[in-house]
Amino acid sequence: MYLYMGNDQKRTAVTMIVWLCLLVAFLGCRLPVVGTEEDSGPFSTPFPSLNADALLSPNCSQLTLKLDFSTKVVKHEYIVAFNGYFTAKARSDFISSALRDVDAVNWRIVRRDNPASDYPSDFEVVEIRQDTRSSLLTLQDHPYIKRVTPQRMVLRSLKLTDTGTDGASPCNDTRWVQKWQSWQSSRPLRRTSLSLGSGFWHATGRHSSRRLLRAIPRHVAQILQADVLWQMGHTGSGVKVAVFDTGLSEKHPHFKNVKERTNWTNEKTLDDGLGHGTFVAGVIASMRECQGFAPDSELHIFRVFTNNQVSYTSWFLDAFNYAILKKIDVLNLSIGGPDFMDHPFVDKVWELTANKVIMVSAIGNDGPLYGTLNNPADQMDVIGVGGIDFEDNIARFSSRGMTTWELPGGYGRVKPDIVTYGSGVRGSGLKEGCRSLSGTSVASPVVAGAVTLLASTVLNRELVNPASMKQALIASARRLPGVNMFEQGHGKLDLLRAYQILNSYKPQASLSPSYIDLTECPYMWPYCSQPIYYGGMPTIVNVTILNGMGVTGRIVDKPIWQPYLPQNGDYVDVAVSYSPVLWPWAGYLAVSVSVAKKAASWEGIAQGHVMVTVASPAENDVSNTGEMTSTVKLPVKVKIVPTPPRSKRILWDQYHNLRYPPGYFPRDNLRMKNDPLDWNGDHIHTNFRDMYQHLRSMGYFVEVLGAPITCFDASQYGTLLMVDSEEEYFPEEITKLRRDIDNGLSLIVFSDWYNTSVMRKVKFYDENTRQWWMPDTGGANVPALNDLIAVWGMAFSDGLYEGDFTMADHDMYYASGCSIARFPEDGIVIAQTLKDQGLEVLKQETAVVENVPVLGLYQTPSEGGGRIALYGDSNCIDDSHRQKDCFWLLDALLQYTSYSMTPPSLTHSKNRVVPPTGTDRPLPQRLEGNHLYRYSKVLEAHLGDPKPRPLPACPHLSWAKPQPLNETRKKYKYYMKILKIRK
C-alpha cells in the first residue's frame, strides 16, 4: 500500500491486484516477509517490507527474484581488531587505557550475546560518540590493537526482474516492476548475492520448461555419482561442515545429524524464516527426498542473517572465530562482492583457512561480463565455484574473467577453480519437500557437499587441508570443450576422480594452471589468441602455487628456466618473480615470456619448462629443522611469429586505468545506478574483451602497457590507445608523448564525462572511511587528459551528454559522454544533437543541445608526424553496459591513425562543424579536495595540492639464465654442420 498511497483511482486498482497476488501467494508458496533497511546516501529511497509470495505466486510465475547484498555503516560503532586472542577483561582494559589518554568518556563496549562470548576473541565492537577522530587515532596507536574499522550492517534483499513475454499476468504490472527495480537500482552495492531466485520457492515439478524437467532426471548428488561412494560406506561421517546462512528449523525431517545450531543475530530464534539456509544445508546434508551429498556429516548451522535479511560484520567475525574454535572442517559461504579490501573479513578468511577450514564460496552472479569475480571466492586459499547447467554449458549468470585485484600492472589469475551444477538444482524446502534454485550460491554448496563427502573417505585426515582438497578437485576436473579457463577454471567437478586422487594423495606442491600453452585455444584464451614476437611487451601469466605440504612454505633458491633445444626453446626468454612466503597454503609465480632477438624474423613453436622447488616445515617437527620439499615443472609452449609491421601494432594503456576499490571511481554510464562503481578492471581481457576480439579479427596485434608512457619504444607501434583513463600523468610522460607523436606515433583517446557538480551529486556514504565519498574522478580524468593533449590545442569539456544519433550510416548511442571543447582549426570535427544529461542530473530538467562536438581527427604538422583522434565517450566499446557498439568507428580511426586514410564518410559528413576554440567557457578543473592521490601511482600527498611523485624506474625484468636440455644433441648438430661445410 505504501507504494501507491495518495495516488488516483487507477493506481488504487493496481493496489487491489497486488493484494490479490499476496493472497494467492499466501495459499501457495509460503515465503515469509522479507524486509529491508534504508541506506544512507543521495540515491536512497525507503521501501516497505514486501511479501515475496506476491511475486512468485502461480499468477506471477513470469517474475524472477534475485537476492542482493548491500552494506552500510553502523553509526558510531567500530570494530577494534587486536593482534591476538584475549579475554573480555583484557580487551576492555586495552581499550580503556587507550581512550583514557584522550579523556574520552562517551563510549562503551557493545555487548555481544552469542556462543563465542565465553571464549577469548581477537576483536571488540566499540561505540564512540564523542571526539571520534582523536579516539580512533589513539586506539590505532595502541600496541595490542591491529586495526580499527567501521561496523557494517549487511542487507540482503530481493531484486525483481520481469521475465514474462506476454505481459498477461496481473503481477507483471510495469509500474510495480519499475518501482521495485528503481528502488533496487538506487542502492550502491558492495557484496552481491550469489543466488538467483528463479524457481527457488516453487514446489517440486513446477518448472516452466519441459526440457528442464528432462535435464534433471535425478538429484544433483546422484548425477555426480555420490551414490557410488555411499555404497562404499562413505556418507560424510566424522566431518564437520558449517553453513553460514539463515538458520534451520529444529525438527526438519531431512536432517538427522544437526550437531549444533547457533544464532549470531539479534533475533531470539534459531529457525530459518526464509528458506535459503535450509536449501543450502539440504544440498550438503539432506538424508531424504532431495538427498544431499553427505547425510551423515556433522551439520553446524550458523544463523548469521535475520528474517529481515540483516547481518553485521561483527556477527560474521564472531561466527568465524567460533568455527575455528569448533574445528570446523568445511565451511560454505554463499555471499560475495568486488571488495577484496574489506580487511577484517579477508583477514579472518585467511585465518580460517590457516586453521585447516576448507572454505567453499560462490564466484558470483555477474556474468557474462568478464572481470566480475567476487570476493572471497577470488582468493587463492578459497575454493571458488562457478555454475553450469545440466547440459554442461557455463551458466550465463556465472561470473568470469581473470582476478582483477592484480590489475592494472599486468594480468590476473585463473578463477573460478572449478564449475558445477548451479542452474535448476533441487534442495530442501523450508519445512519439508524440495524446491529448485539457480545461481552460483547453489553451485557452492554442491561443491561443499562433495568436499564433505570426499573428506570422509580419507583414512588419514591429516592429509586433508584447503590446498590438498583444492589440488584433488582441480586435478580431477573434467575439461569442458570450447570454454576458456577464465570461465570454467579447471573444469567440471568429477567426484569419483577426485576420490581416487585424494585417496592416493601424498603431500606436494602443484600449480594452477599446471602448464602454459599459448597455442591451445580456446582454453588458454586470451594468451592463445595472439602469437608472440620479438620486441613485443612480455606476455605475463600469473600462476598460483598450491602447497599441500603445509600452511606455510617458501621457494627454494630460484625457479629455473630450462628451454628444450630441439624444440627451439632457446628462442624464448623467461623471467620469473614469486611469493617470498607461501601463506596460507598458496602463493604466486609470475612468468613473463618474451622472444629472443635471434627469432625476430622466425616463425614456429618453442618449448621449455620452469622448474620450481617448494619447501615446507614438516608436520609435528618440534625442533623446526625438518622440511618437506616438492619440485614441480611448469611446461611452457608458445607460438612465435615475425615481428608485425608498426601499422598493425596497437599499445593499450593499462597503467592509467584505475578501479574500485580502493577509490570511488564511478561508472561511465550514469544511467546504470544499480552498478555505480567501476570495478571490472578496464582491461582488454575483462570489460573490453569484445573490443579486443574485434581488433584481433581485423588483424591488429594488441599489447598491454602496464608501466608509464616513458617505458615503451614508440617506434614499434602505430597507435597508442587510451580508453577511460582515470590516472594522472607524470610531466615526463607528457613530454615523451609529444616527442613520440612528432616522430610518427598516433594516438586515439576515448574519454568520458567529468563534471564537478555531477560528481558531488553522486556522492555516497562509504562504510570503510565512515564519511561521505565523492568520486575521485568522473567517468574519466578529463583534466589530466587535457594536460596530456593541450600542446596540440585540444581539450575536452565538462559537458555531460546523452542520446541516440546516426554517424556514417551507423546507429550510435552516447552514454554520459563529454564534448570536445578545443580543437585545431585545421582538424576535422563531427558534431551531433544530444540531450544535456548534466542538467537532467542536477536539476531534473530536459534540454536538447545541437552541434555538440563529439569526434575530432587531426594530422600533426611535423614531417612524418602522427595523427590524433578524440572521441568523448567510451561506453560504445565497453562491455559493461554497452547498448550499441561502435567497433566500426574504432576501425575507421585506426585506418586514419595507422594508415593515414581519412574516412570519406566522416570528412564529407553533413555533421562536420568548425573546430571549437573553447574560449566561451572554462575547461574542467579537478574537484577540490579529491583524494585521488591516495590511490594514484603518479600523485603523492603534499602540503597544499598533491604533486607528482618522482618518475619511477621502468620495470626491469631479470631474465632467467637458461639451463638448456639436450645440450649434447645441440653439439652433435653443430659438429655435423661443420663436417658438411668441410665436405
- Cβ-contact 442, 425 below 8 angstroms: yes
Instruction: Name the catalytic one among 441, 444, 456, 746.
Output: 441
Distance, C-alpha 558 to centroid of its chain: 31
- Cβ-contact 647, 898 below 8 angstroms: yes
Convert 812-837 into a string of H (helix), E (strand) and C (coil): EEEEEECCEEECCCCCEEEEEEEEEH
In sequence order, what are the residues at sequence separation of 6 or more whose Cβ sits closer than 8 angstroms to the Cβ of residue 510?
A: 471, 475, 545, 546, 548, 632
Examine the residue annotation and report whether 245 is marked as an active-site residue of this protein: yes
Instruction: Name the catalytic one among 276, 300, 490, 609.
Output: 276
Which three three-digit cell numbers place residue 728?
594522472
Q: For residues 875, 879, 882 and 886, what is the CA-based torsion angle, rounded to 10 degrees? A: 70
Angle at 544 between CA 541 and CA 546, to 5 degrees: 155
CB atoms within 10 A of CB 707: 19
In 3-state terms, what secondary structure has residue 452?
Answer: helix
For the chain, the straight-line distance linking the first and the last C-alpha, in angstroms and rounded, comes to 101
Q: Is the dihedral of CA 738, 744, 745, 751 positive or negative?
A: positive
Helices 782-789 and 731-742 cross at an angle (nearest 10°) of 50
- Name residue 588's beta-bridge partners: 544
Residue 522, CB half-sphere, CA atoms under 13 Å: how many?
10
In sequence order, what are the residues at sequence separation of 6 or more whose Cβ sits closer than 8 angstroms to the Cβ of residue 161?
A: 63, 64, 66, 177, 181
Angle at 132 between CA 130 and CA 136, to 5 degrees: 135
Angle at 954 between CA 953 and CA 959, to 5 degrees: 120
Examine the residue annotation and report whether 891 is marked as an active-site residue of this protein: no
Please tell me the distance from the alpha carbon of residue 422 to that of residue 362, in angstroms, as a whole number: 10
Count of helix runs (H) and strand runs (E) in the chain: 23, 44
Instruction: Name the catalytic one among 245, 378, 381, 752.
Output: 245
Query: What does residue 974 show for φ and ψ, rounded to 5 degrees?
Result: -65, -45
Closest listed residue to residue 870, CA positions, set 700, 747, 770, 692: 747
- Cβ-contact 670, 837 below 8 angstroms: yes
Please tell me the distance from the alpha carbon of residue 651 to that of residue 747, in angstroms, as a whole number: 10
In sequence order, what are the residues at sequence separation of 6 or more whose Cβ sits closer than 8 angstroms to the Cβ of residue 669?
A: 779, 815, 816, 875, 880, 881
Angle at 91 between CA 90 and CA 92, to 5 degrees: 90
CB atoms within 10 A of CB 847: 12
Q: For residues 449, 451, 455 and 461, what is the CA-based torsion angle, rounded to 10 degrees? A: -130
Give CA separation, 894 vs 373, 409, 648, in Å.
32, 25, 9
- Cβ-contact 695, 645 below 8 angstroms: no
In sequence order, what are the residues at sequence separation of 6 or more whose Cβ sits closer than 8 angstroms to the Cβ of residue 782?
A: 751, 752, 753, 754, 796, 798, 818, 924
- Cβ-contact 567, 605 below 8 angstroms: yes
Query: Rg of the chain over CA atoms, in angstroms?
Result: 30
Q: For residues 194, 198, 202 and 206, what is the CA-based torsion angle, rounded to 10 degrees? A: -140
Q: Are strands 649-653 and 586-595 parallel, antiparallel or unpaired?
A: unpaired
Please tell me the distance from the alpha carbon of residue 270 to that of residue 248, in angstroms, as a whole number: 7
Query: Annotated catalytic sites, by residue?
Result: 245, 276, 441
